[in-house]
């Protein structure tokens, strides 16, 4: 479950308040009850003291209405408290009372006096408890809310800044500066990220430099081989060796093409084409069809296309490579008087073409160096697949029983 | 026409130099950044052919400098990077054209000639050879004063031949000239064969003898009478 850090903090804080509420309520309840007894007992004790003093002074029992009861001949050694419930006739309800029994010696006879005072009812205590706890909770919650907000705003600021810089980090760009902080955890996060990004960035650069340098060296020397054989091919003295020269020439051409394709694959893999802009894919499909128009007419291929605007955010150069490779593939592996059907809408591109049967699984055609029937190595579709992976497009290649080749790319 | 070629690989530099001299261009060479830098400030050149990766500096900086010293110079970039990067980078700096390594000398000659036509003969864009006349701007072709209609590829091939008369053009170089990196060479040969067949037919039907000779297993040669 995804949740914002601050929301989760609220949730956990709120959950941790539940035991506080339960324990707090119990504590509060018993505390009120205890204080209520304490106060009542204290009051009754003062009252007893007053009556005992009255008795000493006047040697007279108090008036009956001043005490609850006078029990002649009953003797308590010590003043004794007792709880009792008495029916309150007005409410028809049992009401708790506290009673104090104490004995005074009146004219040589033990007289036990009973004092009685109303206790706070349990329902009243519960009500009080609920009110107190509710009030407290409202207070605590609002204070916590303010504190959590303040903490998120203050303590987590460096974290959010770091996160923001990470999100906007581009591998070809400079390393991000992480905010200064005196919190150990964030400090070590920044240091670790710095090391990690530095390593990634260096790897990216090395990879880029390596492929560029090796490509430069390789292509330069291939250019020499080509220039030299080309020169010899134009030399009348070398005519007897024309066939061998042609082999050298063809091999060097092929090698340079393979290397260019591999370099392109490696660059796509290395995410060096990050210049994503909003493009109309329809335009690129139309351009590719135009590029191969003459080749299509030489093969007498019938093209049917249903193209609708399709806006994607991707590198324009890669879009061009993608459509060129796909259309090229459909033309190249076609048959004389065959057909090509291109369907493009906002969510998918489907290219169907007639062709020859393909032994084995058609999906392997999307792999690097998949061997076609004529022994040709195909990197074109591998490049398309790589571009699809880069942009999270899904691609499938199927060959039906009627030797109909179908490439489907869904942009999602 | 005065050319300056900057390329750090001496063998390749020599091959380009020889080819350009054969084409009767005044061609000077430089093998590193500082030599090229000096020459740019001492002399003026009509065409500047430069490799991007150079010892001692970047060819892109040389382009910036020649643009300030002599903005009229036509610039052709040689690069080992693939065409996609060149499109992004080279043209931004004001390069007129680019070739990717490895290239055929025939291709480089065609690019130079095309650039010379665009830069210095903007008024007169027709070239003639052996009874065939081409207007490179309007893309019209006349054979024995009769206009013939060519497809885009046929026209491109004919102009490529015009830039390299008497030179063997391999099938590979013709394929690259038409499609760039967009065609696997082996598959394109039958297309080229069809294009050449059609081109020959159109020229001979207009009353000219066939100027395109096949060089068995290798390519074709333009030899007008």
Phi first, then psi, for residue B179 (nearest 5°) are: -105, -5
Residues B6 and B106 in one domain: yes
Q: Give the torsion through C-alpha atoms of B148, B151, B157, B161, to 10 deg.
A: 10
Nearest to A233 among B151, B168, B185 (CB): B168
Residues A110 and A223 in one domain: no
What is the C-alpha separation between B197 and B177, in angstroms, rounded? 17
Contact yes or no for B102 and A226 at CB 8 A: yes
Residues B64 and B145 in one domain: no
Helix-then-strand count for chain A, H and E: 9, 13
The alpha carbon of residue B88 is apart from the nearest alpha carbon of chain A, in Å, by 9
The domain boundary, picked from B75, B104, B120, lies at B120
What is the C-alpha separation between B67 and B75, in angstroms, rounded? 9
pTM of the model: 0.70
pLDDT tens column, A165-223: 888 888 878 888 888 888 898 889 899 999 999 999 998 889 888 888 888 888 888 98
DSSP letters along A292-334, please?
Answer: THHHHHHTT-EEEEEE---EEEEEHHHHHHHHHHHHHHHHHT-
Across A151-307, the runs of DSSP E, i.e. the strands, are 276-280, 302-307
What is the C-alpha separation between B131 and B211, in angstroms, rounded? 10
Say if CB A259 and CB A211 are below 8 A apart: no
The domain boundary, picked from B84, B100, B120, lies at B120
SS3 A119: coil
- What is the distance of C-alpha B182 from the center of its chain? 18
Question: Token pair of A41, please?
Answer: 């007992």
- A-chain CB neighbours of B102 within 8 Å are 219-220, 222-227, 252-253, 256
Mean local confidence (pLDDT), A21-33: 92
In this predicted structure, the answer to whether residue A27 has a pLDDT above a threshold of 90 is yes
- Per-residue pLDDT in tens (0 to 9) along chain B, 225 residues: 899 999 988 989 999 999 999 888 999 999 999 999 999 988 889 999 998 888 888 888 899 889 888 888 999 988 776 655 655 666 777 788 888 888 888 899 999 998 988 887 765 778 888 889 998 888 899 998 889 999 988 999 999 999 888 888 998 889 888 887 776 756 778 889 999 999 999 999 988 889 999 988 889 999 887
Residues B170 and B81 in one domain: no
Q: pLDDT at position A20, please?
A: 87
The alpha carbon of residue B103 is apart from the nearest alpha carbon of chain A, in Å, by 6
Q: Which residues contact A299 (CB under 8 A, 6 or more apart)?
A: A331, A334, A335, A336, A337, A338
The alpha carbon of residue B197 is apart from the nearest alpha carbon of chain A, in Å, by 11
Phi first, then psi, for residue B137 (nearest 5°) are: -85, -50
Say if CB A222 and CB B101 are below 8 A apart: yes
Closest CA to B170 of A257, A297, A374, A248: A248
Say if CB B28 and CB B3 are below 8 A apart: yes
Residues A11 and A143 in one domain: yes
What is the C-alpha separation between B85 and B93, in angstroms, rounded? 13
pLDDT tens column, A355-391: 887 766 667 767 766 655 444 446 788 889 989 999 9
Helix (H) or strand (E) holding A264: helix A242-269
A170 lies in a domain? no
Strands B140-143 and B132-135: antiparallel
Which position has the token pair 């959010």? Answer: A160
Q: pLDDT at position A157, please?
A: 83
Q: pLDDT at position A62, please?
A: 73
- Return residues 110-149 of B near A (CB < 8 Å): none
Under 8 Å CB pairs connecting chains A and B tally to: 127
The alpha carbon of residue B204 is apart from the nearest alpha carbon of chain A, in Å, by 20
Question: Token pair of A143, please?
Answer: 């204070």
Chain A, nearest residue to B194 by Cα: A298
Taken in order B186, B188, B191, B197, is the CA torsion positive or negative?
negative
What is the C-alpha separation between B96 and A71, in angstroms, rounded? 127
To the nearest whole percent, how much of chain A has pLDDT over 70? 95
Residues A231 and A264 in one domain: yes
Which CATH number covers residue B167?
1.10.10.10
Mean local confidence (pLDDT), A285-298: 90
Which position has the token pair 């690989």? Answer: B9
What is the C-alpha separation between A227 and A229, in angstroms, rounded? 6
Q: Which residues contact A261 (CB under 8 A, 6 or more apart)?
A: A379, A380, A383
Question: Of the ranges A99-103, A125-129, B154-158, B184-188, which one carries the lowest mean pLDDT score?
Answer: B184-188
Q: Which residues contact B81 (CB under 8 A, 6 or more apart)?
A: A212, A215, A216, A263, B52, B100
List C-alpha distances in Å: B179 to A20, A292, B91, B142: 78, 9, 19, 25
A117 lies in a domain? yes
The alpha carbon of residue B66 is apart from the nearest alpha carbon of chain A, in Å, by 24
Residues B103 and B31 in one domain: yes
Q: What angle do CA B189, B193, B198 make, to 5 degrees?
A: 150
The ipTM estimated for the assembled molecules is 0.81
Q: pLDDT at position B221, please?
A: 92
Residues A193 and A291 in one domain: no
Say if CB A341 and CB A351 are below 8 A apart: yes
Q: pLDDT at position B90, please?
A: 64
> Which band of pLDDT confidence, cut at 50, 70 and 90, is reported for residue A302?
very high
The domain boundary, picked from B105, B120, B135, lies at B120
A246/B contact by beta carbon, under 8 A? yes
Say if CB A349 and CB A285 are below 8 A apart: yes
- A-chain CB neighbours of B81 within 8 Å are 212, 215-216, 263
Mean local confidence (pLDDT), A307-332: 91
Say if CB B192 and CB A295 are below 8 A apart: no
Q: pLDDT at position B138, please?
A: 85
Number of domain units in chain B: 2
List C-alpha distances in Å: B56 to A146, A220, B33, B34, B53: 62, 17, 5, 7, 9
B167/A contact by beta carbon, under 8 A? yes
Range of the domain at B116: 2-120
Residues A74 and A113 in one domain: yes
Q: pLDDT at position B3, please?
A: 92
Residues A232 and A297 in one domain: no
Contact yes or no for B194 and A233 at CB 8 A: no
Phi first, then psi, for residue A68 (nearest 5°) are: -80, -45
Range of the domain at A245: 186-269
Contact yes or no for A250 and B172 at CB 8 A: yes
Bond from prior residue into B62 cis (ω within 30 degrees of 0): no
Residues B103 and B79 in one domain: yes
């Amino acid at each position: 479950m995804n949740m914002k850090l601050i929301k989760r903090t609220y949730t956990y804080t709120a959950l941790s308040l539940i035991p506080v509420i339960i324990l707090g309520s119990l504590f509060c309840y018993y505390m009120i009850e205890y204080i209520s007894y304490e106060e009542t007992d204290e009051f009754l004790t003062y009252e007893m003291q007053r009556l005992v003093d009255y008795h000493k002074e006047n040697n007279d029992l108090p008036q009956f209405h001043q005490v609850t009861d006078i029990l002649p001949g009953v003797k308590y050694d010590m003043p004794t408290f007792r709880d009792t419930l008495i029916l309150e006739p007005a409410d028809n309800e049992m009401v708790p009372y506290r009673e104090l029994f104490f004995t005074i010696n009146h004219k040589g006879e033990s007289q036990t006096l009973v004092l009685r005072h109303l206790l706070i009812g349990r329902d009243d205590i519960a009500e009080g408890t609920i009110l107190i706890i509710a009030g407290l909770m409202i207070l605590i919650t609002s204070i916590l809310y303010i504190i959590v907000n303040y903490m998120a705003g203050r303590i987590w600021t460096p974290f959010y800044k770091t996160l923001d810089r990470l999100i906007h980090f581009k591998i070809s760009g400079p390393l991000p500066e992480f905010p200064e902080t005196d919190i150990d955890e964030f400090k070590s996060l920044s240091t670790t990220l710095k090391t990690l990004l530095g390593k990634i960035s260096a790897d990216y650069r090395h990879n880029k430099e390596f492929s560029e340098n090796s490509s430069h060296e390789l292509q330069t020397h291939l250019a020499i081989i080509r220039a030299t054989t080309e020169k010899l091919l134009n030399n009348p003295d070398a005519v007897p060796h024309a066939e061998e020269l042609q082999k050298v020439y063809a091999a060097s051409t092929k090698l340079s093409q393979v290397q260019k394709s591999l370099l392109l694959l490696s660059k796509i893999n290395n995410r060096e084409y990050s210049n994503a802009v909003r493009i109309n894919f329809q335009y690129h499909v139309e351009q590719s069809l135009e590029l191969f128009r003459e080749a299509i007419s030489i093969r007498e291929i019938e093209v049917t296309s249903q193209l609708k605007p399709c806006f994607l955010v991707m590198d324009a150069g890669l879009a061009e490579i993608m459509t060129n490779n796909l259309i090229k593939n459909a033309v190249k592996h076609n048959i004389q008087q065959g057909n090509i059907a291109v369907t493009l809408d906002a969510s998918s591109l489907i290219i169907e073409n007639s062709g020859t049967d393909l032994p084995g699984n058609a999906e392997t055609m999307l792999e690097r160096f998949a061997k076609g029937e004529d022994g040709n190595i195909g990197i074109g579709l591998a490049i398309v697949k790589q571009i699809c992976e880069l942009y999270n497009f899904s691609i499938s290649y199927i060959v039906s029983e009627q030797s109909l080749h179908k490439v489907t790319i869904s942009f999602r | 026409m005065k050319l300056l070629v900057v390329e750090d690989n001496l063998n390749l530099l020599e091959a380009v130099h020889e080819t350009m001299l054969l084409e009767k261009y005044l061609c000077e060479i430089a093998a590193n950044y500082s030599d090229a830098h000096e020459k740019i400030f001492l002399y003026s050149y009509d065409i500047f052919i430069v490799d991007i990766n150079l010892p001692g500096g970047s060819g892109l900086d040389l382009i910036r400098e020649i643009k300030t010293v002599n903005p009229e110079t036509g610039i052709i970039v040689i690069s080992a990077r693939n065409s996609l990067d060149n499109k992004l980078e080279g043209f931004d700096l004001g390069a007129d054209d680019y070739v990717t390594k490895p290239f055929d000398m025939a291709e480089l000659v065609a690019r130079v000639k095309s650039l010379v036509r665009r830069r210095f003969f903007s008024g007169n864009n027709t070239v003639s050879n052996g009874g065939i006349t081409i207007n490179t701007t309007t893309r019209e072709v006349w054979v024995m004063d009769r206009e013939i209609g060519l497809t885009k590829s046929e026209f491109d091939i004919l102009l490529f031949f015009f830039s390299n008369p008497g030179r063997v053009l391999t099938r590979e170089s013709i394929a690259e000239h038409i499609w760039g990196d967009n065609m696997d060479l082996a598959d394109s040969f039958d297309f080229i064969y069809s294009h050449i067949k059609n081109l020959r037919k159109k020229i001979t039907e207009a009353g000219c003898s066939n100027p395109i000779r096949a060089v068995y297993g290798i390519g074709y040669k333009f030899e007008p009478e």
